[in-house]
Amino acid sequence: MKKNISQKKSFRKQRVHRKMQTLAHWPRLVVFRSLKQISAQIIDDEEGKILISATSLELKSPKKRNTKTEIAVQIGKIIAKRAQEKNIKKIVFDRSGYKYHGRVKALAETARKEGLEF
């Protein structure tokens, strides 16, 4: 029996969340992407609070249109800079069931380059 896209995403999400339960003492970097936008949040699961957030709606560049991957890179830089301002260095990366590919990968690798440790 073939699985549809939402079932595959659900299985990936469950697998990732099982692994993250052992690392619950670190903040979690959660990525959400839609067809047009991307956002990232750093969440403290122990307190249940959002510590830092960044979204592509914050970026405004009227002169040139960036690709979605370039926007994801900019969000990765912003989230890493804000995390360092709050002395957050180690995090757990939660890709929310998305494949580690394209925009999600670009955001994660940029955050790593900017100093966050996954």
The per-residue DSSP string of the chain comes to ----HHHHHHHHHHHHHHHHGGGTTS-EEEEEE-SS-EEEEEEETTTTEEEEEEEGGG---SSSPPPHHHHHHHHHHHHHHHHHHTT--B-EEE-TT--SSTHHHHHHHHHHHTT-B-
User: 67: which 2 tokens?
Assistant: 């690709």
The angle formed by the CA atoms of residues 9, 55 and 30, to the nearest 5 degrees, is 40
pLDDT tens figures, 75-106:
999 999 999 999 999 999 988 888 899 999 99
What's the pLDDT score for residue 91?
92
Buried b (16+ CB within 10 A) or exposed e, 20-57: eeeeeebbbbbbebeeeebbbbbbbbeeeeebbebbbe
Domains of the chain with bracketed CATH: 5-113 (3.30.420.100)
pLDDT tens figures, 7-66:
887 877 777 776 666 666 889 899 999 999 999 999 998 888 999 999 999 987 666 788
What's the pLDDT score for residue 23?
67
What's the pLDDT score for residue 7?
84
- Position 110 confidence tier, pLDDT thresholds 50, 70, 90: very high
Place of tokens 């690798």: 109
What's the pLDDT score for residue 12?
78
Place of tokens 């957050």: 88
